[in-house]
């Protein structure tokens, strides 16, 4: 037990395991780890960050851990997920209705692994904006792509296209189309008002 404590206990074991997985990856794999882990964290506001349970679809753009025709980013995400699950850093939960989820196995990873701590410290406002986009895209899909759920104006302007999954990309495309349609209607109304005056 003394030797376990001397090597850093659970925090040290988690950090060493994360380093071992990360160091064994190529550049694409390392980018995939960053993308995935940032999605698996709920950012605290005045409180500590916590782990977040995320659907496989949000993480990879498709369901399950295997896919024969994955785009390269999804393939890298699947490979990295398998590595992190095998290292027991992530836990996969199989749902009964295609709702497979993944979460960080040990909350200690958030504070014990310096690399994740560094990623979480960078651009927290941008990460919150991305999470807002993720939640809005999910709600839009759940409401059968209801146009009233789309971003417009300032909310759309601050939505950055960064590491988007297919649902988020589709949501932003729909938002941009909707915003352009609103502008066209306003211009037509202004032109009619000018012609009538």
Cα 174 to Cα 144: distance, rounded to the nearest angstrom = 13
pLDDT tens, residue by residue, 30-85: 999 999 999 999 999 889 999 999 998 899 876 555 444 456 778 889 999 999 99
- For the segment(s) 1-122, the CATH number from 1.10.260, 1.10.10, 1.25.40, 3.30.530 is 1.10.10
Confidence label for 4 from pLDDT (cuts 50, 70 and 90) = very low
Q: CB atoms < 10 A from the CB of 18, how many?
A: 22
* Sequence spans of domains, the chain: 1-122, 123-197
Instruction: Give the model's pLDDT for residue 107.
Output: 92
pLDDT at 69: 44
- How far apart, in whole angstroms, are the C-alpha atoms of residue 75 and residue 69? 9
pLDDT tens column, 162-188: 788 888 999 999 999 999 998 898 888
Model confidence pLDDT, tens digit, residues 18-30: 999 999 999 999 9
């Amino acid at each position: 037990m003394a030797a376990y404590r001397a090597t850093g206990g659970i925090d040290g074991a988690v950090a060493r395991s994360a380093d071992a997985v990360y160091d064994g990856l190529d550049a694409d794999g390392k980018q995939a780890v960053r993308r995935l882990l940032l999605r698996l964290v709920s950012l605290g506001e005045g409180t500590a960050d916590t782990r977040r349970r995320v659907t496989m679809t949000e993480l990879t753009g498709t369901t399950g851990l295997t896919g024969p025709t994955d785009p390269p980013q999804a393939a890298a995400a699947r490979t990295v997920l398998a590595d992190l699950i095998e290292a027991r850093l992530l836990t996969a939960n199989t749902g009964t209705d295609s709702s497979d989820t993944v979460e960080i196995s040990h909350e200690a990873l958030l504070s014990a692994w310096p690399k994740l701590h560094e990623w979480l410290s960078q651009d927290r406002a941008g990460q919150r904006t991305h999470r807002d986009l993720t939640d809005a895209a999910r709600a839009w899909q759940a409401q059968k792509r209801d146009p009233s759920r789309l971003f417009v104006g300032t909310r759309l302007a601050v939505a950055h296209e960064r590491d988007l999954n297919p649902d988020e990309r589709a949501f932003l495309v729909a938002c941009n189309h909707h915003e352009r349609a609103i502008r066209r209607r306003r211009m037509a109304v202004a032109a009619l008002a000018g012609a009538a005056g």
